Amino acid sequence: MVKAMQAIASQFSQAGQFLFTWFRETLNAPLFRLGLETITLGWIIQVVALLAIVSVLAKASKHFVKNFLLIKLRISEGNREVIGTLTGLSLATLGFIVVLQTMGLDLASFAVIIGGLGIGIGFGLQELTKNLVSGLTILGESKLKVGDLIEFNNNIGYIKEISIRSTVIRNFNGSYLVVPNTELTSNSIINWNYESFHGRLEIPVGVDYGSDPVLVTEILLESAAMETNVVNDPPPKVVFRGFGDSALNFELWVWVHRIDQRAFTVSRLNFIIHYNFKRRNIVVPFPQRDLWLRNPETLQSSATDSPQTLIPTTDACPTLKSLLLNFPCFTHLNDLELRGIIEMGDRRYLKPGEILVKQGDYYGYFCVVLSGAMNAIYETETLSNRLFVFEQGDFFGELPLMLEVPYPTTMIAAQTTTLFLISKACFHDLLQAHPHLADEVAQELAKRQDALQSYQQKLKEMGLLKESDLSNPVEWIRRRVSQIFGISQSPV
């Protein structure tokens, strides 16, 4: 039994030695000669394994440089992609050369052959080469970045990935568009958020020929203010495009926070405009056509027999135009001038007890009270005193605006209040266009001796007020207005 086991073990040992010898001879058997090196199967396996290791190390180095080292150095995303890719390619190329040289290949002897192959491969893969160069160009210039919203060949979407050969764009419907880089570098691309997501929308609107253009302007601007995606700077604009076949054609221009949400923003604005037009009885007309009737007498007689239903034209909501005309300084302005003022400002609605600006804060707006009332509260550590009540037809904020100083009082709504706010730049344009308003402001300020007294110490410290000016505050205010806004003083 023992001898039988030993015989079996001896046979297995001989078979193993045979297989090992055959495997070794197979790996070392010459296949062909490449230069001075004899190529064997074992040599090929070693080269492939070493090249694979070099590739893994090159890819790992690219990942380390791009996603760790360059982020620490605060390099931009596009430059990180370029530097990381070039680092990986350089290490891979250097590693391949070192492996081949180490394995006994003299690459110098293959220079002519490699050059010929390079020319042939270059002609065969010139499109790939163009895409590689275009990819490096896109990444290096950083004109297009991952996350940008672009429009290309009637396709709009976000850039998901920029690689050396192609760019991946994710459309709004969830699909992915793979674009060769040469297409992006050789065609015009709209980058909607090159610097930010801010962009302008243009909403076309047509109204009936009997509509008041000033009222239409007011409603469109009011509608823009009701949309949260619309920004105030730059302010919305209304453009009168011309006289159409059946309508007066306007456009509402608005800048929005997120241009990528333009479809939803346009939809909401259309709903708001339609709602406000219905409230003010502004008609959006149908296309009009001339009809020739054969028997107009019959139609006329039947029309007179039936009672007519009149649409009520009550104005439940007063217009901004009518409210501004209640102010003495605006009563003599025509419709075109009122339209300019309406376009300058914006409405602000306050609930009872809501604070517009706190004492000691700066608020750069000229405020007109359209309805309701505002309390001016002077606060100290021990008391709270109401200095003024600004009611419909009053204005405030001109002195802090002109002097660029904080508010001396807290402005709080005494009831439901609507304000018309004009920024400093628009206030400057308003006084430039209508110098008489400077006198209105000066006379109104002269009535508020308490407010002037609260500013006296600060104005003296700033060198803006002298003792002689206190005897005639109206004249001092007129001079300050003319100095700040460059307005020639009207004769007294």
Could you report the per-residue pLDDT of 137-186, keeping only the tens digit for each?
A: 777 677 787 778 888 888 888 888 877 778 888 887 778 888 888 888 88
Domain spans, the chain: 26-124, 142-191, 199-286, 320-485
- Please give the backbone phi and psi of residue 235, each rounded to the nearest 5 degrees, phi first: -75, 155
* 262 DSSP 8-state letter: H
Q: Residue 379: is its pLDDT beyond 90?
A: no
Q: Residue 413: is its pLDDT beyond 90?
A: yes
Torsion of CA 22, 27, 32, 34, to 10 degrees: -160
Taking all residues of the chain, what is their mean pLDDT, rounded to a whole number?
77
For the chain, the first-to-last Cα distance in angstroms comes to 138
3-state secondary structure of 384: strand
**CA contacts within 13 A on the Cβ side of 372:** 21
Q: Taking residues 360-384, report their average pLDDT.
A: 87
**How far apart are alpha carbons 242 and 240 in whole angstroms?**
6
Determine the topology of domain 142-191 in CATH.
Answer: SH3 type barrels. (2.30.30)
Q: Taking residues 96-110, report their average pLDDT.
A: 71
Residue scoring higher pLDDT (129 or 391): 391
3-state secondary structure of 310: coil
Cα–Cα separations (whole angstroms), residue 227 to 201, 213, 304, 339, 387: 13, 22, 46, 21, 35
Confidence of residue 250 (pLDDT cuts 50, 70, 90): very high
Would you tell me how many other CB atoms lie within 10 Å of the CB of residue 1? 5
3-state secondary structure of 377: strand
Torsion of CA 133, 134, 136, 138, to 10 degrees: 170
- Of the ranges 80-89, 116-125, 164-173, 364-373, which is most confident? 364-373
Cα 307 from chain centre: 55
Would you tell me how many other CB atoms lie within 10 Å of the CB of residue 415? 14
* Per-residue tokens: 183: 């297409």
Would you tell me how many other CB atoms lie within 10 Å of the CB of residue 143? 15
- Please give the backbone phi and psi of residue 240, each rounded to the nearest 5 degrees, phi first: -85, 105
Does domain 26-124 fall into CATH 1.10.287? yes
The residues facing 399 across adjacent strands are none
Contact present, 394 and 329 (Cβ < 8 Å): no
Does domain 199-286 fall into CATH 3.30.70.100? yes
Q: Hunting for tokens 């039947």 — which residue is that?
A: 302
Q: Residue 16: is its pLDDT beyond 80?
A: no
Cα–Cα separations (whole angstroms), residue 313 to 58, 208, 326: 78, 15, 21
User: Domain 320-485 is in which class?
Assistant: mainly beta
pLDDT tens-digit series, residues 26-52: 767 776 666 666 777 777 888 888 888
Q: Taking residues 410-434, report their average pLDDT.
A: 87
